[in-house]
Amino acid sequence: MSSVIELDDVWYGYDREKPVLNGVSLQIRQGEFVAVIGGNGSGKTTLAKHCNGLYKPSKGSVKVNGCDTKTMSTAELARTVAYCYQNPDHQIFHSTIAAEVSFGPKNMGWPAEKIEQAVNEALEAVGLGGMGEAEPYFSSKGTRQKIAVASILAMKPQVIVLDEPTTGLDYRGMLEMMELVRRLHAAGHTIIVITHDMRLVAEYAERVLVMHRGSLVCDGDPQSVFAAPDILASAQVEAPAVYRFGEAAGMKGPLPLTLQQMTQKIAGGGQWR
């Protein structure tokens, strides 16, 4: 698998005394599902915004598909790396959903038929197929969030960065959003999710990047992160309840991360105690 985003010793900061990112190096490969976690001021959002060129490093380099982000504008990079904001109300301004979703492709300068096709595919993918003529502002938060995702999907990006996509959603909304993200991953997109929901990380992520005070302190699968209490403490989070119960109950073997895994382990019989 080739690396689609590469950070090489990236430093970033407004204040030389307190850099926001200090010497971060990592590679994200095509098709990965990566979660980025970290406490307040850990630099996780700044890290994600380097991936699409919104921020350029003060030292070191960020390469997207081999091209240095310093040589490209955010608008150019938007074709490859899409960034979906937490609050959909910060971007919606058209009077129909279809017009809203077509904003990105129009900025790319695509011909009209290509735009129409991209918009329809994006709306289908998020579950809003056929709702192109509906009005975006007064719909529910979940719908507005889907419109925001469709808007960036329509630009057919390779990588999708989601900034706390489940904040403010109820449980059903959260499930719908994450199932959508899973489908996008299955369809071949590389996914980077900034989140503080460890249950989400346990359920969906393959790889976890833990940021603390501007440094990358851990880069591994969810199992290894949950098994390290000091790493969790630095990210100001707790392991999911299922995992903590497995620990407290003294379970043998790899501890289950999700309810489904726990059910399989217990109901599957055999020696788990």
Partner 1 sequence: MIQEPLLQLQEVHWHYEDSPTPALTDVSLCLYPGEVVGVVGPAAAGKTTLLLALAGLIPANYAGQFAGKRQAQGQQGVVFQDPETQFIGLTIEEELAFSLENVGCSDEQIEQRITEVLQLVGLPGFADRSPFELSGGEKQRVAIASALTNGPQVLLLDEPTSELDPLGAREVFALLQRLKQESQMTIVVSSHATEELATFCDRLVLLAKGQIVLNLPVRDFFARTDVLDQHGIFVPDVIRLYHLLCREGVLAETAGPLPLTVEELAARYREAQLVREGSV
Partner 2 sequence: MAMKHAHPSFVLLMFLLLGLLPFLFQDPRALAVVWLCNLVLIARLGWKRSMVKAYALVGGVGAVFAAITWLPFTNVGVAYWSGSVPLINYPLQVTDIGVLWALGMGLRLANVALLSMYYLLSTSPREIAMGLRGLGVPFSVSYLLSLIFRFIPLVKNDLATIREAQMVRGMSTVEGNAFERIKKYGFLLVPLIFSSLKRVQLIANALDAKGFQIRNSQHRFYRSKRWKKAEVVMLLAGVCAVASLFYIARVHPEHIGVLIPGRI
Residues near partner 1 (CB under 8 A) = 39-40, 140-142, 167-173, 196, 199, 236-238, 240-242, 244-245, 248-249, 259, 262-263, 266-267, 273
Q: What's the CA gap between 241 and 127, in Å, rounded?
A: 31
- Of 43 and 157, the one with the shorter C-beta distance to partner 1 is 43
Q: Please tell me whether residue 167 binds partner 2 under the rule CB under 8 A.
A: no
**Angle at alpha carbon of residue 94, lines to 92 and 98, rounded to 5°:** 100
What does 82 interact with, of partner 2, partner 1, none (CB < 5 to 8 A by kind)? partner 2
Do the Cβ atoms of 105 and 150 come closer than 8 Å?
no
Tell me how far CA of residue 62 lies from CA of 3, 46, 56, 67, 200, in angstroms. 12, 13, 8, 8, 27
Do the Cβ atoms of 86 and 165 come closer than 8 Å?
yes
What does 256 interact with, of partner 1, partner 2, none (CB < 5 to 8 A by kind)? none
Which residues between 67 and 106 bind partner 2 (CB under 8 A)?
A: 73-75, 78-79, 82-83, 85, 87, 89-93, 103-104
- Of 24 and 148, the one with the shorter C-beta distance to partner 2 is 148
**Least CB distance to partner 1 at residue 42 (A):** 10
Please report the sign of the dihedral spanned by the C-alpha atoms of residue 97, residue 129, residue 205, residue 246. positive
Q: What's the CA gap between 178 and 89, in Å, rounded?
A: 20
Q: Interface with partner 2 by CB under 8 A: which residues?
A: 52, 54, 73-75, 78-79, 82-83, 85, 87, 89-93, 103-104, 107-108, 137, 151-152, 155
